[in-house]
Structure 1
Amino acid sequence: STLRPLIFGVAPYNPILGETHHVSRATLNVLLEQISHHPPVSALHATDEEHNIELVWCHQCVPSFNGAWVETEVRGKRQLKLLSRGETYEMNSPNLLIKFLPLPGVDWTGNVTISCKENGLEAELRYGPKSFFGLRGSHRSVKGKVYETATKRTLFQLNGHWDRTVTAKDNNSGKSRVIYNAEEVFSGLKTPVVNDLKGVRSTESAAVWSELSEAIMSQNWEKAKEAKNAVEEKQREVLRESELKGTPWVPQHFSVTYTKDGGWECSPIQQWVPPAPIVLPLS
């Protein structure tokens, strides 16, 4: 964003209400929907019927500006369900830190707690960026532990970097092993391809922002600005019509509730996410 000319601005993609992204990789099917625009809230539902796994996320991003950086608090609950084991893991998210000075960069910061009532285990993770001038701290580091909820007895010590490797040290045996390797995870990812063009929804992100993306790729900033304004004006028209008709907009794929105490919560309407027209090839 900081490399684009001022005439264009620094926020090209501002998710619109009802925007979706539906993608598959092997047996994992993922569906996201923008369920609120003010404030911006996104919902995610992912399922893998073959491995009996389900993920449900509901996120509200709340940025705070501090001159040289922006720190975005990611509010909301994440659930990972291992259906065959009858286990549900609940977790929060670290904050996203975007630095402009002295050197541009992106990092995660803050504390994350992961808990599972069914097996009585919890994990605490601490994401730590470097200091403002880069003299203290460890760049993109993550440290933590896995322990028994009832006894607080630590089972594993976690240490590493989220963009490299993370290891777990067994407190009983003293042995360590790598539990996450970023290079292995991301080196295998391929560019998504459209398998079924007719199956792509009009609300799909790639369709909504296609003209804007083409303009950015060709560095036609005036056309990009026009394309961005056209998308946002179309959304304003839809909202005005809904208000005049007295029919409030409702999400297509999630049931949504909001309370001051609990914040935003979403429940998928479908039990399983169907295969998507857009896929990430395995090889």
Structure 2
Amino acid sequence: MLTEGELGTNAVLTAPLSLEGEDSEANNGSPNLLQRIFSLLSSVQPGSDLIRLQLPPLFNLPKSQLQCYGESVYCINTDLLSNCNHGESPLDRIISVIAWNISTLRPLTFGLAPYNPVLGETHHVSRGTLNVLLEQVSHHPPVTALHATDEKANIELIWCHSPIPKFCGTHIETEVHGVRQLNLLDKNETYAMNSPKLVIRFLPVPGVEWLGNTTIRCKETGLEAELCYRGSSYFPRRSIHRSIKGKIFRSLSSQTIYEINGHWDRAVTIKKFSNESVTTIYNANEVLSGLKTPIVEDPKGVLPSESAVIWAEVSQAILQKCWEKAREAKTVVEEKQREVAEERKLKDENWVPKHFTVSHSKENGWECLPNVKLVPPAPIVVTL
């Protein structure tokens, strides 16, 4: 059995998803890959949810979904999050929030998906004064909670994500339920936002796209933004692929102040409605290229529930392309989760999240509130 110090040194951390990630050799959409995917889904009926589908390691990224969510916050070249609190006016601040929100989208590789997190799995990483903590607070359905704080920048993030994938014949469509909240503490402003849908297309051209509408709303200032993420329905067209259209307006009057246009993997601009002046608010190449991989700075501080520890043997085997070893290691993780769940059932015990208080209702959906005001510094860091 590994000691606390050995847990940290055993952690496997891999390069974050970035603009370069989509050029990997795995993203080739080859017939063999499509055949394997259709074989995997052959017993699934259209309209079925895929929450309980277990992917073979051949289809896995060497990281957990918790790590992917976390990377969208702490792996970035420009500190767009702190910029949200620097704007002199509410308009300046919502524009910065929009730019930061766009930066949380990352290109995904067709045919590969992260591991489904186990119940109680955590991921804890720091970047400068930003501390980020995630916990898997439900397994069926899957619900992930995120809490991030930057005491220096007076910023807090609270997310609650519940992805619900469904097989629709020629594609898989995942709705991400739950709300993201960005709190600018010294401004007393809360920005609530949702996530677009993730669509994996098999035919006619394989690909992965973020699609649909998102809203960013600040009730304190009465400002709101609507974003529409678009993609190619059939054959890729650069003008539409990964494009964004939207507007910033006043909630009460619906008065449009700015129009938003661009591509989330390239550049996004805003055009002032009154005089048509255009400003670039987001450059993906500057923000998402050459991202740094997190490192273990304090091995003794790494928890046994850390994603990079739980999935270490699976990730290492995938990186080495030892598929049988990866399959065996993944089976061990999944079997252990089933055994622990069975033990709780026999003892008539309910599992309680360690870092969040969780509630669910038909009216409000899932709500995950952090148990502490500030996230502590993490043993895993992203160097500046």
TM-score (norm 1): 0.94
1:217-269, Cα deviation, whole Å (9 max, x unpaired): 11111111111110011111111111112221111110000112221111000
Aligned residue identity for 2:131: N
Aligned residue identity for 1:176: V
Gaps of 5+ in 2: 1-25, 41-55, 61-113
Helix, strand or coil for the counterpart of 2:340? helix
Helix, strand or coil for the counterpart of 1:238? helix
The root-mean-square deviation of aligned C-alpha atoms, in Å, is 1.9
CA contact (8 A) 2:262 2:269 kept: yes
1:217 aligned to 297, 319, 324, which one? 319
- Give, in whole Å, the separation in 2 of the partners of 1:185 and 1:272: 26
Bigger proportion of residues as helix = 2
Is 1:15 aligned to 2:64, yes or no? no
Deviation at 1:49, TM superposition (A): 0.3
- Give, in whole Å, the separation in 2 of the partners of 1:215 and 1:66: 32
1:63-212 correspondence to structure 2 within 5 Å: 63-134=165-236, 138-187=240-289, 189-212=291-314
CA contact (8 A) 2:58 2:323 kept: no
CA contact (8 A) 1:115 1:122 kept: yes
Helix, strand or coil for the counterpart of 2:224? strand
Bigger proportion of residues as strand = 1
Aligned residue identity for 1:189: L
Helix, strand or coil for the counterpart of 2:303? coil
Deviation at 1:137, TM superposition (A): 7.0
Q: Which has the higher contact order (CA 8 A, sep 6+)?
A: 2
CA contact (8 A) 1:128 1:137 kept: no
Deviating above 4 A after TM superposition, structure 1's stretches of 4 or more consecutive aligned residues are 1-9
CA contact (8 A) 2:127 2:381 kept: yes
Deviation at 1:8, TM superposition (A): 4.9
CA contact (8 A) 1:77 1:91 kept: yes
- More displaced stretch, 256-265 vs 82-91: 256-265
Q: Which residue of 2 aligns with 1:264?
A: 366
Deviation at 1:185, TM superposition (A): 1.0
CA contact (8 A) 1:189 1:280 kept: no
CA contact (8 A) 1:131 1:137 kept: no
Gaps of 5+ in 1: none
Deviation at 1:181, TM superposition (A): 1.1
Helix, strand or coil for the counterpart of 1:84? helix
- Give, in whole Å, the separation in 2 of the partners of 1:152 and 1:261: 26
- Give, in whole Å, the separation in 2 of the partners of 1:69 and 1:28: 37
- Give, in whole Å, the separation in 1 of the partners of 2:317 and 2:169: 30
- Give, in whole Å, the separation in 1 of the partners of 2:182 and 2:143: 19
- Give, in whole Å, the separation in 1 of the partners of 2:184 and 2:372: 17
TM-score (norm 2): 0.70
CA contact (8 A) 2:190 2:219 kept: yes
- Give, in whole Å, the separation in 1 of the partners of 2:331 and 2:202: 26
